[in-house]
Amino acid sequence: MDEEKAGLQAKIEQEREKRSIAWLGARMRETIVIILTVSALCFEVAAQPTGKISYQSSEDWQLYIMDVESGERTKITDDMRKTSIHASLSNEGSRIAMSVDLDRDGDKEIHIIDISSGRRWRLTNNPWNENDPRWSPDDNCIAFTANPRVQKGNEFPAIYKIHVDGTQQQRVVQGQYPAWSPDGEWIAFSKGNIYKIRHSDKLTVRITNDDSFLDDMSAFSPDGKTVAFVSCNLKRLGDALIYVVDIDTGKRRRLTETDGAWHFNPCWSPDGKHIAFHSSIPHSISIMDDDGGNERILIENAYYPSWSPCRPYAVLPHERTLAPWGALKALWRTTKSHHGGMPCF
């Protein structure tokens, strides 16, 4: 009898073990399906351009913002009166910095627009033409190009930076077309070639090194490893094309082809997988993959694109990972309280 009970108990234990293994296998299969599904969804989301692009319309000269995903457009200004605007959308998407000559005195100044309220105020008041405003990653500072009203000899434009409250204006370096690195430590600029200068010690590094080209209008990729820029071949004048350069190796690669049009103002999508730029024929904003493929017109009759995340996630400067925008702001506030803020000044 005891042997029969023992045998029966052994069979029961074996059956339980089989069922446990079957249950565990089923749960693992479900988990794998969920992981693969989420991964596919994440890949699908990442593959689609997001954020918003500000631009100037060549039809009515006004400033607009377009949601890249939905295509919805919002008109921001109505009084530009046939004047060109160099505009930059803040990283949070709440403000626009623009270079414009509103008082018609021959000098462009930097103005800021609060998008939700429509309030507008003048940020700079200098005897120069000020162009190409660019927001720092924390939206606390703006870098811009200052062009002397009257050129004297070999005098070249200079990069300045200023706090968004209008204080602490400082000259950074001789050059033009500023672009902040994602961690806020460097500003790229052009002076025949593309360079970058570090805030902390003014260390200047040359990024492009081919003197047979004239390089301008740079933009850091979101991961800080690559710079997109405009380049003109001095041996074959008549084209301006979009290139990228690997910052570590200095290797450059052309993304757009010569088609009779000039290509300007490259700007990266928030995920670094796309680049938008202005094409002169026809006047439009085009978009392409980061390797130059899949080029197509995104916005017709438009100039001066500026691409902003305008979303609750952003790339952390050092970890290169995604984090909630609020957490990123908290990180910057902590850095500011302990170390004096990002290296803007």
> Which H or E run includes 88?
strand 86-89
CATH number at residue 315: 2.120.10.30
Predicted local distance difference test score (pLDDT) of residue 160: 95
User: Where among 9, 25, 47 does a domain terminate?
Assistant: 47
Does residue 39 share a domain with residue 138? Answer: no
82-86, 141-145, 329-333 — which is least confidently predicted? Answer: 329-333
User: Where among 9, 24, 47 does a domain terminate?
Assistant: 47
Does residue 27 have a pLDDT over 60?
no
Does residue 32 share a domain with residue 177? Answer: no
Does residue 156 share a domain with residue 296? Answer: yes
Neighbours of 344 (CB within 10 A): 23
Does residue 289 share a domain with residue 214? Answer: yes
Does residue 304 share a domain with residue 234? Answer: yes
Predicted local distance difference test score (pLDDT) of residue 39: 42
Does residue 262 share a domain with residue 312? Answer: yes
Q: Indicate the pLDDT class of residue 103, thresholds 50, 70 and 90.
A: confident
Does residue 136 share a domain with residue 3? Answer: no
Residue matched to tokens 């811009």: 144
Does residue 73 share a domain with residue 211? Answer: yes
Predicted local distance difference test score (pLDDT) of residue 126: 86
6 occurs within a structural domain: yes
Predicted local distance difference test score (pLDDT) of residue 32: 44
Q: What is the mean pLDDT of the chain?
A: 80
Predicted local distance difference test score (pLDDT) of residue 10: 59
345 occurs within a structural domain: no
Predicted local distance difference test score (pLDDT) of residue 70: 92
Does residue 279 share a domain with residue 259? Answer: yes
How far apart CA 46 and CA 30 sit, in angstroms, is 24
Does residue 187 share a domain with residue 228? Answer: yes
Predicted local distance difference test score (pLDDT) of residue 49: 84
Domain of residue 41, residue span:
1-47
pTM, rounded to two decimals: 0.76
Does residue 130 share a domain with residue 23? Answer: no
Q: Indicate the pLDDT class of residue 38, thresholds 50, 70 and 90.
A: very low
Predicted local distance difference test score (pLDDT) of residue 322: 39
Strand partners, 212: none
289 occurs within a structural domain: yes
Q: How many domains does the chain have?
A: 2
What b-and-e string marks burial along 56-90, b requiring 16 or more CB atoms within 10 Å of the CB?
bbeeebbbbbbebeeeeeeebbeebeeebbbbbbb
How far apart CA 247 and CA 205 sit, in angstroms, is 10
User: Where among 47, 64, 82 does a domain terminate?
Assistant: 47
Predicted local distance difference test score (pLDDT) of residue 43: 40
Q: Indicate the pLDDT class of residue 100, thresholds 50, 70 and 90.
A: confident
254 occurs within a structural domain: yes
Q: What percent of the chain has pLDDT over 90?
A: 54
Does residue 122 share a domain with residue 40? Answer: no
Between 9 and 272, the higher pLDDT residue: 272
SS3 letters for 170-206?
EEEEECEEEEECCCCCEEEEEECEEEEEECCCCCEEE
310 occurs within a structural domain: yes
pLDDT in tens, 189-215: 999 999 999 988 999 999 999 888 899
233 occurs within a structural domain: yes
8-22, 40-54, 98-112, 214-228 — which is least confidently predicted? Answer: 8-22
102 occurs within a structural domain: yes
344 occurs within a structural domain: no
Q: Is the dihedral of CA 160, 163, 166, 168 positive or negative?
A: negative
pLDDT in tens, 147-189: 876 555 556 799 999 999 999 999 999 999 999 999 999 999 9
Neighbours of 301 (CB within 10 A): 14
